[in-house]
A and B are shown apart, each in its own frame.
Chain A
Amino acid sequence: MAQYVTDFMRYAAPTTTDEAVELLQSDPDARVFAGATDLIPQIRAGRPEPSLLVDLKRIERLVAVSHNNGTWTVGAATPTSALTANPEFSAAFPGLSEASGLIGSDQIQNRSSWGGNLCNASPAADSVPALVVNDARAVIAGASGERTADVADIVTGPGETSLNDGEFIIEFLLDDPPAGSSDAYLRLIPRTEMDIAVVGAAVQLSMDGDSVASAKVALGAVAPTVVRVPDAEAALVGSTLDDDALAAAAAAASAACNPIDDKRGTIQYRRQVAGVLTKRAVQIAAQRAKGAN
């Protein structure tokens, strides 16, 4: 029989978070997974070699989506296709919905999840900048119970997270966007589809009439982790999104980049594009926010 990966991996599909926590405590070389769209190629490439594969998709909370009392709760293993196909969710968070829908083909969309996209900790993860500008929090399970952390604090470097050994994300929490606010996410890839971001730019704006009441800007694929750009946010707040404010925000975004130089984009190119995408995403978010007024 064609041997797929290394021998001696065990598969487990717990149905409660407690069971999953116990399994992870029982084996330091265990790995959790949701869609496995990153894990399986990594195993095939020889790293990592987990002894226990813990499938989180049979735990109800991990695949549940609900909206109660002004807060969305989204299971960390929920397929992104279920979010993009959810009209209420996509109307509330159009930029986050678009970012989630950019992760791979339809085949991948039926497996990819926020939990996986975040914890795989690729600097180019499309959903992460959009989660960050929407102040998403992650509810994390571990041996000492549950804790909540800001999504912005989870990834610490390429492939590295602040999760402790044996911890995993159960679900994400998102508060309803305030009236008069909206979001947008744009990314650049060299092809028209099916590629990894050279730059991703997420923006969340609250408008007060024609002027910006609050702004959040986060960039992906231009540094080891997603970068918030406070200088761009400061340039936008109080402005009417005139040319000077947009140019200042774009310049701040370019300056915030600390990108790699690779075959998909040079440092100079990524910096330039980060500014352009930031400006365009601001304009889209503003249009949407005004529509939501």
Chain B
Amino acid sequence: MPRTHVSCTVNGDEVDFLSSDETSLLNALRDELGLTGVKEGCGTGDCGACTILVDGKVNCACLMFAPEAEGSSILTVEGIAQGDQLHPVQQTFLEGAALQCGVCTPGFLVAAKALLDENSDPTETEIRYALAGNLCRCTGYDKIIRAVQEAAVQVNGASK
């Protein structure tokens, strides 16, 4: 089976791994690098459970071949906290109980962080559109939206 050597940055660390060519980046992150926060939901780009940032942009890790990551900078849910300090979206998801089973949560957190990086004061509509690529089958979306709104308030408070 052809295997390719891949060098990239993951959560701030330079990493190297060997990947079979047809493996998804999702499987490489989970199986080669042990980053099991990245979840597989549908495997076809519909559910967003595998959402990661590639060079700052949201992507579905299941829709990338692992060798495509060469030279890129990747952020997974494992990389969004600053040491012991949770990212505001992680804190507000906890406080607002914006999850039940939690499988969709890493993808939502990464997508919400990406939104707030670009737009720290989004409207509810903007939040709903930005998270439209992430599906939750437990809570419904209201708690999730409210958690992102609350995180935006904290992000704004910190920057003002």
Contacts and interface: CB of A to CB of B under 8 A. Distances in A.
Interface of A: 1-2, 4-11, 13, 35-37, 40-41, 43-44, 53, 55, 57, 81, 104-108, 110-111, 193-194
A37 B20 CA distance: 19
A241 B27 CA distance: 55
A107 B4 contact: no
Interface stretch (B55-63, B74-82, B89-97, B149-157): B55-63
Interface of B: 1-2, 4, 20-24, 27, 30-31, 43-46, 48, 51, 54, 57-60, 62-65, 67-68, 70, 111, 114, 129-130, 132-134
Nearest to B132: A193
Given A11-B21, A193-B129, A44 B43 contact: yes
9 contacts: A11-B2, A11-B21, A36-B65, A40-B65, A41-B43, A57-B68, A104-B133, A105-B48, A107-B48
B60 A53 contact: no
Contacts of B48: 105, 107
By Cβ-Cβ distance, the 9 closest A-B pairs, closest first, are A105-B133, A9-B22, A11-B21, A41-B44, A110-B57, A11-B67, A107-B133, A193-B132, A10-B2
Contact of B70 (A13, A43, A194): A13
Nearest to B54: A110
B133 A194 contact: yes
Contacts of A5: 22
Main SS at interface, chain A: loop
B60 A108 contact: yes
Contacts of A11: 2, 4, 21-22, 65, 67-68
Contacts of A194: 46, 132-133
Given A11-B2, A13-B70, A55-B68, A108 B45 contact: yes
A41 B44 CA distance: 5
Contacts of B30: 2
Given A11-B2, A106-B130, 4 more contacts: A10-B21, A36-B64, A104-B133, A106-B133
Contact of B111 (A35, A55, A81, A106): A106
B63 A8 contact: no
Contacts of B31: 1-2
